[in-house]
Structure 1
Amino acid sequence: MTSADTSSSGITSVEAAPDPAGGATARGRIVLVTGLSGAGMSVALKALEDLGYEAVDNLRLSLVPALIRQADPKRRPLALVIDSRTRDFSAQSFLDELEELRRGAELEVSLVFLDCGDEVLQRRFTETRRRHPLAEDRTVPDGIQRERALLFPLKEQADVTIDTTQLSIHDLRRILSGHFRRDAQAALQVFVTSFSFRQGLPREADLVFDVRFLTNPHYDPDLRPLTGLDPAVAARVESDPDYPGFFRNLTEMLRPLLPRYNQEGKSYLTIAIGCTGGKHRSVFIAERLAAWLKEQGLRVNLSHRELDRQGLRTGGQNGNGITGNTAAGTVANHPANHQANHQANHQG
């Protein structure tokens, strides 16, 4: 592991170099996942399994050493979820086991902590009608607070802390992939997303750019029902006299930053482009920026948060050949997004 990194997204991490895909590696990799019940640990474990990790859920701490000896994480990395459901769980025992694992020169051990806001956790337990593991004799809010206090020492020692309050399932999988993918290609992966300021900033964003100063197609009745993916909207935004200079300055600012991020070992970067409604200007600029980044030889993923939430786009390949991974159904079905999206009076 290398130097610590704290991004504006609220994701605190210590970057680790990716393992080569397949075959034995110089060091075995183990990812320990813990956190608050309802914060997405099952999703995280499935995501790591899809990345090629051997995944084990709810393992007793006393069995971890035997499993590691048997599993051979040098051949295939190992992902373990250990949380308050575990029979012999205690924060101190967990930390003792973590320290013991890290003493071994043959293992690279990462601790991932999943956090989430109390209100969202309560809603998730209410909607699923599941019992909180620490609320057998108390209310769910009391169980959440008890668990938060119990796990605080683990959060303090975590290499990667992810707040899933406003993340979709796709967002969580993407972040974990950025940290723990196994491919040998260490190049920076860039995620570009458009969004509406009225719906809030994307928590995962590292860089945020506000394009509300550009001409707003919403005020043209013919363009209002369209999106930034439509040529007519693109032409209107491009006709703004300030657009050429803005986009040129944006790319010139990013040009020297991107290789430095890569040199520092940052495995992924999220760039968010925002306007009022997240439908016109931000979508067009995000499309243009993603295309430019791809021209620079970078791996690029593109999504449009508000279009996906409203079912106006289903992901896949867009006109620029950039992969859009946020499927509308995936976002809409995630518990964190069950609240109705308030329609902005002025779309952008």
Structure 2
Amino acid sequence: MGKVNGGVVTEAGDVCWLRADVALAAAARRHAGQLARGICLSGERVSQVELCVTEMATNLLKHTRDGSLALRVVRFGGRAAVECLSLDSGPGIEDVPLALRDGTSAVGTLGIGMGAIGRLADVSGIHSLRGRGTVLYARFHAEDTTPEPDARVAAVDTGGLTRPISGEQVCGDTWAVRTTGGAGDDRLLLMMCDGLGHGPLAARVADRAREAFRDSRRPGPSGVLEDVHAGLRGTRGAAVAIALVEPAEQRVRLSGVGNISALVTVAASRTALLSMPGIVGAHLPRLRTFDAEFPPGAALVLHSDGVSDRWKPADFPGLFAQDPTLVAAQILNQAAVRRDDAGIVVAAHRRA
């Protein structure tokens, strides 16, 4: 989702998920066009977004065993963009650089689609695992909100993704990111929330958790979690983890309650940060804060129990050099529990 600065809140939004079927291309063009016009993209830019999702849909139907598109509007730092994600379950791409060249096709077409996506989008990326699946990512900024270079921008990029349980339109999992608010302060607070249950009632809990997270002015993760607990009183409750990322100190600190997985990856290693038993909004235990090193090149991953915690960084060669939104999408693509809501947020400490 990009870099965060100036006390800005970055949050999960509504995601339109479209499964691969014969009507995918038409449905994707319609939804993507609506999103693009909704953030006032020009007619030419709307057409480019529609072309992007048409190529994604065509690739899914021609080359993959099963897959879906995820379309959404993201807002961060006063900016708006349309994000398009293609996720599939294989067979993967044998040679990604070759596949991105114009004129390359496995089925006798012109082979311009994937290369065109990279040229048209403001931000794009691809990650493929042979035999397991591919994620393709593209983001289109509104013309008057394209990010400008800013030396004050923190060295941490963030992004995330949610997916509702099959049969539901809304998701009870959510995430949010904001700075601690001080001028020149590059520390970030992240929240991962899993509203208990599924559907609209769980989504309502998620909305209230984001609001409490936004409004909290407490300095550390445990204090913010206490504010979220107060905001969720009277609801069915949630599992919530709050992380404080401190790039200058190269540390991350976390307070969590309930079944939220949190880990820091560095190269092929992973360090888990524990959450305490309980229910935020109903029963808050005595909070503890755990910490871990967070050097440049590390990534912090928070996810709900809708994503299996058995995945390992070594299972995803090359992934953590990608945009955090693509990282979140590929982990969800490979490790999501199909019978549950799923949510994940990633913070990556980029090397200078």
Q: TM-score, normalised by structure 1?
A: 0.32
- Give the number of the structure whose residues are more often strand, by fraction: 2
- Largest Rg, 1 or 2: 1
TM normalised by structure 2 equals 0.32
Which protein has greater RCO, CA pairs closer than 8 Å, 6+ apart?
Answer: 1
Structure with a larger share of its residues in helix? 1
